[in-house]
Amino acid sequence: YTDVQDLIVPAFTNKTLATSIATNAGDGYIFGVELEGAWRFHPQWTLSGFAAWQKGETESTVIIGEPAVNKPNTRQLPLSGSVALRWDDVDGKFWVEGRLMGATEEDRITAIDQAADNQRIPTGGTPGYVVASLRAGWHVNKNLDLTCGLENLSDENYRIHGSGQNEAGIGAVFGLKVMW
Protein backbone atom coordinates (compact mmCIF):
# COMPACT_ATOMS: atom_id res chain seq x y z
CA TYR A 1 0.00 0.00 0.00
CA THR A 2 1.26 3.48 -0.83
CA ASP A 3 -0.28 6.68 0.49
CA VAL A 4 0.13 9.56 -1.99
CA GLN A 5 0.05 13.22 -0.94
CA ASP A 6 0.44 16.29 -3.17
CA LEU A 7 1.31 14.26 -6.25
CA ILE A 8 2.45 16.48 -9.13
CA VAL A 9 0.25 15.76 -12.16
CA PRO A 10 -0.61 17.64 -15.36
CA ALA A 11 -3.96 19.44 -15.63
CA PHE A 12 -5.46 21.11 -18.69
CA THR A 13 -5.68 24.90 -18.77
CA ASN A 14 -9.02 24.96 -20.63
CA LYS A 15 -11.70 22.74 -22.17
CA THR A 16 -9.89 22.44 -25.52
CA LEU A 17 -7.50 20.00 -23.79
CA ALA A 18 -4.64 21.47 -25.80
CA THR A 19 -2.36 22.82 -23.06
CA SER A 20 -1.54 21.44 -19.63
CA ILE A 21 0.50 22.58 -16.64
CA ALA A 22 1.92 20.73 -13.64
CA THR A 23 -0.17 20.97 -10.48
CA ASN A 24 -0.05 19.53 -6.98
CA ALA A 25 -2.98 17.12 -6.97
CA GLY A 26 -4.82 16.00 -3.89
CA ASP A 27 -4.29 12.83 -1.95
CA GLY A 28 -4.35 9.36 -3.40
CA TYR A 29 -3.39 5.76 -2.90
CA ILE A 30 -2.05 2.67 -4.62
CA PHE A 31 -2.43 -0.86 -3.34
CA GLY A 32 -1.62 -4.13 -4.97
CA VAL A 33 -0.94 -7.81 -4.63
CA GLU A 34 1.83 -9.99 -6.03
CA LEU A 35 1.94 -13.76 -5.82
CA GLU A 36 4.68 -16.07 -7.02
CA GLY A 37 5.19 -19.76 -6.58
CA ALA A 38 6.67 -22.98 -7.90
CA TRP A 39 5.67 -26.58 -7.41
CA ARG A 40 7.99 -29.47 -8.21
CA PHE A 41 5.32 -32.13 -8.62
CA HIS A 42 7.78 -34.70 -10.01
CA PRO A 43 11.59 -34.87 -9.73
CA GLN A 44 11.85 -33.72 -13.36
CA TRP A 45 8.81 -31.41 -13.67
CA THR A 46 8.16 -27.96 -12.16
CA LEU A 47 5.11 -25.75 -12.53
CA SER A 48 5.71 -22.09 -11.69
CA GLY A 49 4.04 -18.75 -12.11
CA PHE A 50 3.27 -15.30 -10.84
CA ALA A 51 0.41 -12.83 -10.82
CA ALA A 52 0.31 -9.11 -9.99
CA TRP A 53 -2.52 -6.60 -9.67
CA GLN A 54 -2.78 -3.00 -8.51
CA LYS A 55 -5.42 -0.35 -8.01
CA GLY A 56 -5.10 3.29 -7.18
CA GLU A 57 -6.65 6.69 -7.52
CA THR A 58 -5.53 10.26 -7.06
CA GLU A 59 -7.79 13.21 -6.37
CA SER A 60 -7.00 15.64 -9.17
CA THR A 61 -8.46 18.32 -11.40
CA VAL A 62 -8.76 17.53 -15.10
CA ILE A 63 -9.18 21.23 -15.99
CA ILE A 64 -7.75 24.00 -13.79
CA GLY A 65 -10.49 25.65 -11.72
CA GLU A 66 -12.89 22.71 -11.84
CA PRO A 67 -13.58 20.52 -8.80
CA ALA A 68 -11.13 17.74 -8.03
CA VAL A 69 -12.33 14.18 -8.58
CA ASN A 70 -10.83 10.75 -7.92
CA LYS A 71 -9.28 9.36 -11.10
CA PRO A 72 -7.10 6.29 -11.81
CA ASN A 73 -3.36 6.78 -11.46
CA THR A 74 -1.44 7.26 -14.67
CA ARG A 75 0.03 4.13 -16.30
CA GLN A 76 -1.45 1.83 -13.67
CA LEU A 77 -0.72 -1.76 -14.66
CA PRO A 78 -3.51 -4.27 -15.27
CA LEU A 79 -3.78 -7.76 -13.85
CA SER A 80 -0.81 -9.59 -15.32
CA GLY A 81 0.91 -12.89 -14.85
CA SER A 82 2.73 -15.87 -16.19
CA VAL A 83 2.67 -19.64 -15.89
CA ALA A 84 5.48 -22.02 -16.91
CA LEU A 85 6.05 -25.74 -17.11
CA ARG A 86 9.67 -26.91 -17.00
CA TRP A 87 11.24 -30.31 -17.56
CA ASP A 88 14.77 -31.10 -16.34
CA ASP A 89 16.56 -34.26 -17.44
CA VAL A 90 17.58 -36.76 -14.76
CA ASP A 91 21.26 -35.72 -14.87
CA GLY A 92 20.46 -32.00 -14.68
CA LYS A 93 22.29 -31.22 -17.94
CA PHE A 94 19.29 -30.27 -20.11
CA TRP A 95 16.00 -28.45 -19.52
CA VAL A 96 13.03 -27.31 -21.61
CA GLU A 97 10.41 -24.76 -20.53
CA GLY A 98 7.16 -23.52 -22.01
CA ARG A 99 5.70 -20.25 -20.72
CA LEU A 100 2.48 -18.29 -21.15
CA MET A 101 2.57 -14.63 -20.18
CA GLY A 102 -0.31 -12.19 -20.34
CA ALA A 103 -2.22 -9.21 -19.08
CA THR A 104 -5.84 -8.12 -19.07
CA GLU A 105 -7.11 -5.04 -20.89
CA GLU A 106 -6.30 -1.79 -19.10
CA ASP A 107 -8.99 0.83 -19.58
CA ARG A 108 -8.48 2.66 -16.27
CA ILE A 109 -6.72 5.62 -17.86
CA THR A 110 -6.53 9.31 -17.05
CA ALA A 111 -7.86 12.07 -19.28
CA ILE A 112 -4.39 13.57 -19.60
CA ASP A 113 -2.94 10.20 -20.69
CA GLN A 114 -5.60 9.79 -23.35
CA ALA A 115 -5.57 13.35 -24.69
CA ALA A 116 -1.85 13.97 -24.58
CA ASP A 117 -0.49 10.81 -26.12
CA ASN A 118 -2.50 8.07 -27.80
CA GLN A 119 0.73 6.49 -29.06
CA ARG A 120 1.76 5.46 -25.55
CA ILE A 121 -1.75 4.34 -24.55
CA PRO A 122 -4.12 3.51 -27.43
CA THR A 123 -7.54 5.20 -27.53
CA GLY A 124 -9.81 3.41 -25.07
CA GLY A 125 -6.95 1.68 -23.27
CA THR A 126 -4.37 -1.02 -23.83
CA PRO A 127 -5.73 -4.37 -25.09
CA GLY A 128 -5.05 -7.55 -23.14
CA TYR A 129 -2.76 -10.23 -24.52
CA VAL A 130 -1.40 -13.74 -24.02
CA VAL A 131 1.95 -14.74 -25.52
CA ALA A 132 3.76 -18.07 -25.48
CA SER A 133 7.46 -18.83 -25.43
CA LEU A 134 9.62 -21.92 -25.47
CA ARG A 135 13.14 -22.08 -24.02
CA ALA A 136 15.79 -24.74 -23.56
CA GLY A 137 19.16 -24.96 -21.89
CA TRP A 138 22.23 -27.13 -21.70
CA HIS A 139 24.59 -27.16 -18.72
CA VAL A 140 27.75 -28.01 -20.70
CA ASN A 141 30.09 -28.09 -17.69
CA LYS A 142 30.69 -26.26 -14.41
CA ASN A 143 31.85 -23.17 -16.34
CA LEU A 144 29.46 -23.01 -19.28
CA ASP A 145 25.68 -22.89 -19.84
CA LEU A 146 24.01 -22.47 -23.25
CA THR A 147 20.39 -21.40 -23.69
CA CYS A 148 18.10 -20.71 -26.60
CA GLY A 149 14.49 -19.76 -26.96
CA LEU A 150 11.64 -18.76 -29.20
CA GLU A 151 9.54 -15.88 -27.90
CA ASN A 152 6.05 -14.73 -28.90
CA LEU A 153 5.40 -17.97 -30.80
CA SER A 154 2.05 -16.79 -32.22
CA ASP A 155 3.58 -13.49 -33.44
CA GLU A 156 1.05 -11.61 -31.28
CA ASN A 157 0.81 -7.83 -31.77
CA TYR A 158 0.84 -6.54 -28.16
CA ARG A 159 2.27 -3.93 -25.84
CA ILE A 160 2.98 -3.52 -22.15
CA HIS A 161 0.55 -0.88 -20.81
CA GLY A 162 2.07 2.61 -20.90
CA SER A 163 5.20 1.56 -22.79
CA GLY A 164 4.40 3.44 -26.00
CA GLN A 165 5.55 0.70 -28.33
CA ASN A 166 4.57 -2.78 -29.36
CA GLU A 167 6.72 -5.66 -28.25
CA ALA A 168 8.68 -7.66 -30.79
CA GLY A 169 6.99 -10.32 -32.88
CA ILE A 170 8.26 -13.87 -32.98
CA GLY A 171 11.93 -13.94 -32.16
CA ALA A 172 14.82 -16.17 -31.24
CA VAL A 173 17.26 -15.60 -28.39
CA PHE A 174 20.54 -17.35 -27.69
CA GLY A 175 22.49 -17.14 -24.47
CA LEU A 176 25.92 -18.07 -23.23
CA LYS A 177 26.81 -17.99 -19.54
CA VAL A 178 30.47 -18.35 -18.58
CA MET A 179 31.29 -18.88 -14.90
CA TRP A 180 34.66 -19.05 -13.16
Is residue 102 pLDDT above 70, yes or no?
A: yes
pLDDT of residue 115: 65
Which range is most confident: 67-71, 148-152, 167-171?
148-152
**Which residue ranges make up each domain of the chain?**
2-178
pLDDT of residue 82: 98
CA 100, distance to chain mean position in Å, is 13
Backbone CA torsion sign across 169, 137, 37, 2: negative
Residue range 69-90: mean pLDDT, rounded: 92
State the architecture of 2-178 in CATH terms: Beta Barrel (2.40)
Q: What is the H or E stretch that residue 115 is in?
A: helix 111-116
pLDDT above 70: percentage of residues in the chain: 94
Task: Give residue 58's pLDDT band: very low, low, confident or very high (50, 70, 90).
Answer: confident
Q: What is the H or E stretch that residue 111 is in?
A: helix 111-116
Better-scored residue on pLDDT, 42 or 4: 42
pLDDT of residue 121: 78
Task: Give residue 36's pLDDT band: very low, low, confident or very high (50, 70, 90).
Answer: very high
Q: Which amino acid is at 146?
A: L
Of the ranges 6-15, 32-41, 92-101, 116-125, which one carries the lowest mean pLDDT score?
116-125
Task: Of 80, 88, 87, give the one whose Cα is nearest residue 106.
Answer: 80
Residue range 159-170: mean pLDDT, rounded: 86
Per-state percent for the chain, helix, strand, coil, to nearest 5: 5, 55, 40
